[in-house]
Structure 1
Amino acid sequence: MKTYIKLTLISLLIISCSSNENDTTKSITYPSFGSEIEVTINGLSFDAMEPFVSPNGNYLFFNNLNDGINTKLYYATKVNDSTFNYVGELIGPNQTTTPHLDAVADLDNNGNFYWTSTRNYPTELNNLFHGTFDSGNVSNIERVQGDFNKSIPGWLVMDHGISLDGQYLYFNNARFDEANCLGPCETTLGVAQKDNASTFNTLPNSVTILQNINDSDYIYYAPCISSDNLELYYTRYLKGQITSSTVFEICVAVRSNSLSEFSVPRVLFSEVISNLIEAPTLTVDKNIIYYHQKTSDSHKIIMRYRN
């Protein structure tokens, strides 16, 4: 769940690398990006987190503060790469009774919209939803089914990223134990393939595809797969007690074709918790990366152009 460290269990529910490079990674070409540019959302007066740009580039989706109390999905329309006009709440996905959380937008090229929600939790543990997006409205809302849902108390799909064609779901399973962990105790990334409109099931070689990424020493979240399925972006931090020195990293792993395993990842950007960065997402042409960052008084969306 593509945020502010998810300070509470319910906010962590939602929350789209290794720097030790060996000889095998020296021949790999990793993307790089230029200096940061703060995104302006005209008319917005509150936090903007978990950005996602629609495949056609016309909409910027985001949620407000991930406090798990009154977290909702919003959208803005594009003026230029770094400027958007705030429109308002998305119609359909947001719950109305507090406490609640609806966040982490994803949209494929066919108008299928995905997000995480606490509706009817913990009676129902499957917390990923989908619907049909059209001009600010999401209809035909259903839960996403499949074996990627552990359906075990304490385990949740904390984050997700959908491929452009809608055929592959990159999911983040997380185990929570509020008595013993701040945030998730452990996480694992996986890949599932679409069976039908409401069901994804884990690929048989999911573990192999992500074997260079999953590491039990880290907490992972906010996966985002590029439009060509060759670059996987995500956020991570070292497992253990979170302190003022805890470093949050936005990372990328790459591969030469959409069926092979990803490389050893590379850290693109990192910040300590006071300047927290999270939830990378990429435009369809891969030329711009967006993410959010904690500032002195809010959370802002940041962008960088690809070098």
Structure 2
Amino acid sequence: MKILTKQTRLVFRLTIAVGMIFLICVSALAQDLRHRLQTKFTQVQTGVRALVQAGDNPAGIFVVLKQIKPALDAGHPEKAEALLDQALAMIKQEQKKPSASKSSPLPISTRIEPSSDLYANPAPVTIAGYHGSAMEPFISPDGHYLFFNNQNDPGVNTDLRFAVRTGKTTFRYLGLLPGVNSPVLDAVASMDRAGHFYFTTPRSYARTQNLIYTGEFDGKAVKNVRPAPWDIRSNVPGAIDMDTSVSPDGRTLYISRAVIVSGLPAPKSSVIFIAQRIRGQFQEVPGSAQIMKNINVDGLNYAAAISSDGLELYFTRASQRMAGASAPGASMRIMTATRTSITAPFGEARVLRKITGFVEAPSISLDRKEMFYHKREGNKCVIYRASRS
């Protein structure tokens, strides 16, 4: 089975978002030219959808599509059309590749990672009244609510949902989370103790390059939804900030940043960096790379969660693990790392070996006694709970 990573799914959603802005930009063009551009863009969207459904990553095509709006804004529709032709040619080239050359989009790793039994006894979570796919869970700091989204795949309208706790592994579905959902992807919830809520959405990405939104959760809905207040922009071409996890005190964000390069079947890299709130805006912490030097060493690293004291980090790592590694084959695993103070670097990350399978997106309770994550079972994702040993 081909691995459809979170980065691949998000790239597809960003392509759709670019399409929405594209339709606005071409509305003022002459009818014949507008029709030709719209037809080609529809062909590109259809081709991208087919590639993703086949397990391929359209990251390189997305890099090309991002250049269309600037070309139209500058009054160069002929350049926009040339970019569409380039994207269509890339799709055809990708479709001609033999399946053997596309066996896995994940980077290769031979690292032998240490393991940990810190969390064990995994058990599926039951959400009464909800029967769909459930992924990217977040347990609220008071342990009362479980936030999650449905399947984050092409052809599915991904929305944020929530449930109220009724037992150790049981919740009652409350429905779509009011205030946050849009016609495009809305996913990957995180919240601090004061109710400041964060999530990923590409609703304005083509215009603002912003994927992370925030608001205030009042127990029933999220109010005052807006782009997250930060001054964090990467100068690296193709960089996108996929998701964020806020510390319980609300002062620090752990952000996943992927770099998409044209021609590569998966992101070139995905790293986690740290930002802190300074005078109302989040800014990257000086020395973030040094603090995370033992985290961003291998594979694609994303979907972080931080303990209340800031000394324990949990995250997802994805890679192909080759002969010589502890578990050869395509691997999605949940990792943990610790440090001695909030300014010290994290130590070497360890695999939580009792949490097995296609697993992603850890979320730990405020008291650290339980962890929630999702696991793919067949064509569906299921939320699991593990307890601290």
Letter in 1 for 2:167: N
- 1:186 — aligned with what? 269
- 1:220 — aligned with what? 301
- 1:154 — aligned with what? 238
Query: Which stretches in structure 2 are left out of the alignment for 5+ residues?
Result: 15-108, 323-327
Is 1:204 aligned to residue 290 of structure 2?
no
Query: Which of the pair is proportionally richer in strand?
Result: 1
- 1:77 — aligned with what? 164
Q: Distance in 1 between matches of 2:262 and 2:132?
A: 28
Question: How many percent identity over aligned positions?
Answer: 35
Say if 2:10 and 2:242, in contact at 8 Å, map to a contact too: no
Letter in 2 for 1:224: A
Q: Distance in 2 between matches of 1:76 and 1:4?
A: 27
Say if 1:125 and 1:151, in contact at 8 Å, map to a contact too: no
Aligned residues: 285
Change (3 A) 1:203 1:56: same
Per-residue displacement from partner, 1:226-272 (whole Å, max 9, x unpaired)? Answer: 1111100000122699xx93111100000122221111110113888
Per-residue displacement from partner, 1:123-167 (whole Å, max 9, x unpaired)? Answer: 221111110111231111121243433276621111211100000
Is 1:174 aligned to residue 175 of structure 2?
no
Letter in 2 for 1:279: A
Is 1:37 aligned to residue 123 of structure 2?
yes
Per-residue displacement from partner, 1:34-56 (whole Å, max 9, x unpaired)? Answer: 22111100011101100001111
- 2:353 — aligned with what? 269
Query: Which stretches in structure 1 are left out of the alignment for 5+ residues?
Result: none
- 1:143 — aligned with what? 227
- 1:232 — aligned with what? 313
> What does 1:276-287 align with in structure 2 at a 5 Å threshold?
276-287=358-369
Q: Distance in 1 between matches of 2:133 and 2:177?
A: 16
Q: Distance in 2 between matches of 1:153 and 1:122?
A: 15
Equivalent position SS for 1:260: coil
Q: Distance in 2 between matches of 1:219 and 1:172?
A: 10
**Deviation of residue 5 (structure 1)?**
1.8
Change (3 A) 1:212 1:289: same
**Deviation of residue 188 (structure 1)?**
1.7
Say if 1:71 and 1:103, in contact at 8 Å, map to a contact too: yes
> What does 1:86-105 align with in structure 2 at a 5 Å threshold?
86-95=173-182, 97=183, 100-105=184-189
- Higher-RCO chain (CA-CA 8 Å, sequence separation at least 6): 1
Query: Which range moved further: 218-227 or 120-129?
Result: 120-129
Per-residue displacement from partner, 1:185-244 (whole Å, max 9, x unpaired)? Answer: 2112111101244x20011121111111111x4111101101111100000122699xx9
Say if 1:5 and 1:12, in contact at 8 Å, map to a contact too: no
Q: Distance in 2 between matches of 1:271 and 1:40?
A: 18
Per-residue displacement from partner, 1:54-98 (whole Å, max 9, x unpaired)? Answer: 111110000000025411000000001200000101111100x3x
Q: Distance in 1 between matches of 2:250 and 2:4?
A: 28
Say which one has the larger Rg: 2
- 2:44 — aligned with what? none
Q: Distance in 1 between matches of 2:4 and 2:369?
A: 26
- 1:125 — aligned with what? 209
Normalised by the size of structure 1, how large is the TM-score? 0.85
**CA RMSD of the aligned region, Å?**
2.6
Per-residue displacement from partner, 1:263-305 (whole Å, max 9, x unpaired)? Answer: 1110113888xx4100011000000011000112411001111
Q: Distance in 1 between matches of 2:248 and 2:117?
A: 19
- 1:195 — aligned with what? 278
Equivalent position SS for 1:224: strand
Change (3 A) 1:178 1:269: farther
Q: Distance in 2 between matches of 1:154 and 1:240?
A: 26
Letter in 2 for 1:52: F
Change (3 A) 1:20 1:60: closer
Say if 1:247 and 1:271, in contact at 8 Å, map to a contact too: no
Query: Which of the pair is proportionally richer in helix?
Result: 2
Q: Distance in 1 between matches of 2:385 and 2:284?
A: 32
Equivalent position SS for 1:148: coil
Equivalent position SS for 1:259: coil
Change (3 A) 1:136 1:11: farther
Query: Which range moved further: 204-213 or 164-173?
Result: 204-213
